[in-house]
A and B are shown apart, each in its own frame.
Chain A
Amino acid sequence: MKETAASENLKLSGIAVSAGIVIGKARLVDRSKQKIVYQYLINDNEVNREVERFKKALELTKEQILDLKTRMNASIKEHSFILDAHLLIVDDNMISDATIGIILEEKINAEWALKKSVQKIRQVFNQIDYEYIRDRINDVENVVERILRNLAGKKQDSLSQINDRVIIVAHDLAPTDTSELNTAMVMGFITDVGGKTSHTAIMAQSLNIPAVLGLEKATGSIVDGELLIVDGYKGEVIINPDDETIILYQEKALYYENYISSVLRLSHLPSETMDGHRMAVKANIEFLEEVVSAKDNGAEGIGLYRTEFLYLRNKGIPDEEELFKDYKEVAEQVAPYPATIRTLDIGGDKILPAQKLSSEANPALGLRAIRFCLKEQEIFKSQLRAILRASTHGSIRIMFPMISGVQEFIEAKSILAQVMKDLDKKNIAYDKDIKVGAMVEIPSAVMVADILAEKADFFSIGTNDLIQYTLAIDRSNENVAYMYEPYHPAVIRMIMQVVKAAKNAGIEVSLCGEMASDPFCIPILLGMGINELSLTAAGIPLLKKLIRSLSKEEAEKDLEEILKFKTSEEIRKYILQRTKDHLPDVDEENFQINQQQN
């Protein structure tokens, strides 16, 4: 977390999880843990009284949860099952009977006895190997917190009693907290912990309320009633802003609102330059469920379906049938547009049992992606069979990741041919003309792109890895991260070489990777003649708008200039100037919108 106090304004930085800007008063919600005191009870009378006190607290807890359920906001009613589960947890033997048993046996106070029984539940849950269920311990903790508050006789700090428009500031928000909210009164959410996939994030997005999470010390820095600005694009919170800052952000909020609605309006127009050149814009997805939002954002197909998710759920390797259903569904949903399915792109460490593995000092350069698939052919074949079977249900293309040279590509294709033969024998239908492409993301593949182009039906340039491997920097290493430079002349020449090889061989070339969502890179890629870009769905409307304002002819001229520059800095400056010339509203700020919105 960064913290700056350049002016009077104290600024906190966290994770932007729900877009939008709001200015309003802080409402601090105390959800801090209760302190538990150990107490020894002297006689039976006290013990019995303690049991009664505990039972009362349980009753009160149940009443509160039931009350919450009835007052639940209609828009989030579907989450009410969480409250049903919480009710059952209050009643559960492992909580109620176990705690009463401990009070009677050990003659200790209810709080401590409850703590002991929860300890036991935690131990049992820790041994659960299925993560989704293991995480339910959070529900138990949440219920226990409530019981403890009731034991302490402390008034429940109820979010349902908020009657004025405020920004909720909390350490963390539990589903029960958010479910009792009168959402009309909530302008924004900010919390100390939590990230993009937390319950609060999902809730905020579905309610369209700006939210910044993971601020680490929001509750420590913000006083109840203080004025806050929440910037859900950048992930920033400004505490007690001065008048100037307030006016600045009011303007920003208005500007973004207008800008976003204008961009979204354009998202269904064709992705075509001013001089009539088509450059397809597709979506990168990771789950089947993303197809809908990809289409809503105007994607003309799926340019990269990362297939790792089904392999990473702690359920072992998925069977062919499950994969088939998933791919079929993607193909059907994205039709009439095509979907490019990338075969498994992970290291064995993620999916194989430990005994089959040897540890690797350098996994990024190790046995992964196509290398792993060529070694573990059964896993590979099962995926290929699933893809082929799904190919009759729409338009599917296959792409092999991490191809380093033509030998590897030929081997992968020969396995595909074996699988096809096998399907033929069994009379199972598949698309016999299915297109098979290579992901170009290793410098060696770039150097032999002309050879590779003779065997591949298409190329897709994966710029994230290509840049890392080309510049020999690990982007997650903060000492060298600044060197990750998409405008490096070496990177631009590499991409250029791949595009040329593809053009000479008459095959299509697309680009997937962050470069496709960087507005300043687009004119270069257009100038080179890349056929399609694939990026995260939320970035598509802006990208389309940008493409529609460019001219292929001009981009080609610009590219000639760009190829003459010797450093990234020169290239960057040139592009920035040129982009601003013909598209004044695409600046670095807007680039951030597109980054944060996904």
Chain B
Amino acid sequence: MEHKKTLLIQNDLGLHGRAAAKIVELSRKFEARLFFRKNGQGEVDGSNILSILTLSGSKGTEIEVKAVGEDSFELLEELSALFDDKFGEGR
């Protein structure tokens, strides 16, 4: 099972430490493996805080997300909600 989605970074600070930490925590709740890709560059591990940071995702950047595994659809749903919620940062 594999699902893909493009997510938009909407919070002011972008994918900084706290946001990245939330993604890692979320991905740990699922079996599926998570991969991120920015601007068609190389894929990075979406369950690793440093890899996510190295994406250097600032506000307005689109991230291609791929989840591989049984619960990949659910993972992407929750991840997408997290992005839309601006990682709970409110701005």
| Interface residues in chain A, defined as those with a beta carbon under 8 Å from any beta carbon in chain B | 81-82, 84-85, 88-89, 92-95, 121, 124-125, 128-130, 132-134, 136, 139-140, 315
27 A-B residue contacts at CB 8 Å?
A81-B18, A82-B17, A84-B18, A85-B20, A88-B24, A89-B49, A89-B50, A92-B48, A92-B51, A93-B50, A93-B51, A94-B50, A94-B51, A95-B50, A121-B50, A124-B54, A130-B57, A132-B13, A132-B14, A132-B16, A133-B14, A133-B15, A133-B56, A133-B58, A136-B17, A139-B17, A315-B58
In the bound complex, do residue A136 and residue B53 qualify as a contact, i.e. CB atoms below 8 Å apart?
yes
User: Which A residues lie within 8 Å of B48 (CB)?
Assistant: 92-94
A89 to B51, CA, bound (A): 10
A156 to B28, CA, bound (A): 30
In the bound complex, do residue B21 and residue A140 qualify as a contact, i.e. CB atoms below 8 Å apart?
no
The verdict on B62 contacting chain A, using a C-beta distance below 8 Å, is no
Instruction: Check A128/B56 contact, CB under 8 A, given A93-B45, A133-B16, A139-B17.
Output: yes
Instruction: Check A85/B13 contact, CB under 8 A, given A133-B56, A136-B53.
Output: no
User: Which A residues lie within 8 Å of B20 (CB)?
Assistant: 85, 88
User: Which B residues lie within 8 Å of A89 (CB)?
Assistant: 49-50
User: Which chain B residues (1-52) contact chain A, with CB distance < 8 Å?
Assistant: 13-18, 20-21, 24-25, 45, 48-51
Say how far A14's CB is from chain B's closest CB, in angstroms: 28
Having A85-B20, A128-B53, one finds 12 other A-B pairs with CB under 8 Å, namely: A81-B17, A84-B21, A88-B21, A89-B50, A93-B48, A95-B50, A128-B54, A129-B56, A133-B14, A133-B16, A133-B57, A139-B17
Cβ-closest 6 pairs across A and B: A88-B49, A128-B56, A85-B17, A94-B50, A130-B56, A81-B18
User: Which B residues lie within 8 Å of A139 (CB)?
Assistant: 17
User: Which A residues lie within 8 Å of B45 (CB)?
Assistant: 93
In the bound complex, do residue A92 and residue B49 qualify as a contact, i.e. CB atoms below 8 Å apart?
yes
Say how far B56's CB is from chain A's closest CB, in angstroms: 4
User: Which A residues lie within 8 Å of B49 (CB)?
Assistant: 85, 88-89, 92
A130 to B11, CA, bound (A): 14
Say how far B40's CB is from chain A's closest CB, in angstroms: 17
A140 to B17, CA, bound (A): 11
